[in-house]
Structure 1
Amino acid sequence: MDSLGQLNRALTITKKNILIYYLKGPVIIFGVLIPVFFFLTFIVGGKHLPWSFLISGLTSMTVFFTATSVSPVIMPWEAQMNTLERLIASPVSIYAIIIGDMLASVGFSLLITIIPIILALTTNITITDPLIFVLGVMLAAICFLALGSLLSTPRTNLPSNIMMLSSLIKFPLVFISGIFIPLESMGWGNYIALFSPLTYLMDIVRYSMQGVHTYPLIIDIVSLLLFTIIFFIASIKLHEATSHTEYREV
């Protein structure tokens, strides 16, 4: 199958996913409402923290939750509607299917992330290094959507099963990544934070909005790249291994 043809099929899948899944309940809840509720709770309990730190946390959470909210919904929902089997049986490679899902995820993420950026700019927060900020956000969005694709590999036709699994992974990552407590104040928790890709996005956003960072920026960028490669390869391999497995309701 030619690469250009597969790219066109991937873009068609992306368009289909945008039209169907952007307004689905799980996507709105996990991609929009949860970051908002976390942020509001954070404001009430974190009055001693600077506003720039709060906005940095909101921006990082928004990128994380939006990028990981679309892909985990698509596979089980299409299995439930009996359209996934037809898609797999068509002349579309598993790469095209996954890339189509990922492009829809990154589009949703970048679209919603504009909101906290506007909030930051309207509250006199200056993004001191726009290039690093944009690079970090885009790289992190790609990394997180690869994670979202990885979370969608279990074979089930019930979206709630995938949502439960993704929550068990995503929520702990939020609490260990310096979103609510600055990394420099986490003590031994810094060692755990190293294993979360969200940590490195938060460090980049804090540098861009506050001028402070815990790790060298090159470490942040390289770490996000490594996580992206790991998640993407694992997602491809698992989807290939399970593409012909029967979908289960439980």
Structure 2
Amino acid sequence: MRRTTLWYGSLVVAEKNMRIYYLKAPVLIFGIILPFFLCLAFVMGRDISLSSFVPGVVGMTLFFTSSSVGPLVTPWERNARTYERLLSTPLSLSAILLGDVISGFIYGLAISFLPVVLGVTIFGCGLDNVSLLLGGIVVGAFSFAALGVLLSAPHTGAPSHIMMLSALIRFPIVFLSGVFVPLEKMGQTGRMIALFSPLTYVVDIMREAFHGGSYYPLGMDFLLVVAYFFGLFYVALHLHRRGLTKSF
């Protein structure tokens, strides 16, 4: 019964977030527009095979979109003085944060299929394993959405502060995760740093799904992405709880 209440409450929170925040300017800018122009700037004027670039674009799009909703929700509601009202409901903090994760997951899931469709239909990128692609997108979206919720933990009344913090953290991750430069072409130091990024393993899954070129074993990729989800969500829950003790 308690588990059913948790999931129902989380879905209610997710539905609220979808209605209110999906079309907010910070989500559109940091989740869609920025990664688009980042890809455009990297590709223009370079002799790059677009079909080989598609797996990285899919992973990066999933990363930015899934992690863009979470950093906006809590600071926005604190600023609007509606966060306290949400906390006064029978919902637990776990249910509220899980709802934020689900809303980020759905947003990333929906948007990430756009580069997949464009890559296959326009750029002629082969797709060898649809099931692997879907599995990678699902686990990646959950993991990145949990990262977004973690980034919203600092207590501030200005949503812009959190969005800039999230951009400051997410941009280095993109450049160190094999999105633009494949892992096999990175130096040893770069590959060591990439080990600590969940995006590294999602992009690796995407490469295997599109043209069979994963750098790590697929079992390791999936296991680490799932582990990142639980780890990030646990830390986010802890930091949000600690923030509540400072607020009240």
TM range (shorter): over 0.9
Segments of 4+ moved more than 3 angstroms: none
Cα offset for 1:52?
2.0
Cα offset for 1:45?
4.6
Return the TM-score normalized by structure 1: 0.94
Structure 2 contact 51–124 (Cα < 8 Å) conserved: no
Q: How does 1:33-112 map to 2 (within 5 A)?
A: 33-47=33-47, 49-112=48-111
Q: How does 1:123-134 map to 2 (within 5 A)?
A: 123-134=123-134
Deviations 1:90-117, CA, capped at 9 Å, x for gaps: 2110011011111111111011111101
Q: Which residue of 2 aligns with 1:148?
A: 148
Return the TM-score normalized by structure 2: 0.95
Q: Which residue of 2 aligns with 1:219?
A: 220
Q: Distance in 2 between matches of 1:245 and 1:114?
A: 40
Counterpart check, 1:202 vs 2:203: yes
Cα offset for 1:197?
0.6
Structure 1 contact 106–141 (Cα < 8 Å) conserved: yes
Deviations 1:57-116, CA, capped at 9 Å, x for gaps: 211110000010001100000001100011112211001101111111111101111110
Question: What residue identity is the alignment partner of 1:18?
Answer: M
| Closer, same or farther: CA 220–3 of 1 in aligned 2, 3 Å | closer
Q: Distance in 2 between matches of 1:175 and 1:192?
A: 11
Q: Which residue of 2 aligns with 1:113?
A: 112
Cα offset for 1:224?
0.7
Gaps of 5+ in 1: none
Deviations 1:7-48, CA, capped at 9 Å, x for gaps: 32221111111010000011000110011101111211542x
Q: Distance in 2 between matches of 1:183 and 1:7?
A: 38
Q: CA RMSD in A?
A: 1.4
Structure 1 contact 52–209 (Cα < 8 Å) conserved: no
Gaps of 5+ in 2: none
Question: What residue identity is the alignment partner of 2:9?
Answer: R
Structure 1 contact 203–214 (Cα < 8 Å) conserved: yes
Q: How does 1:232-243 map to 2 (within 5 A)?
A: 232-243=233-244
Q: Which residue of 1 aligns with 2:162?
A: 162
Secondary structure of the residue that 1:201 maps to in structure 2?
helix
Secondary structure of the residue that 2:134 maps to in structure 1?
helix
Q: Which residue of 1 aligns with 2:179?
A: 179
Structure 1 contact 76–155 (Cα < 8 Å) conserved: yes
Identity, % of aligned pairs? 41
Give the stretch that moved more between structures: 37-46 or 196-205: 37-46
Aligned residues: 246
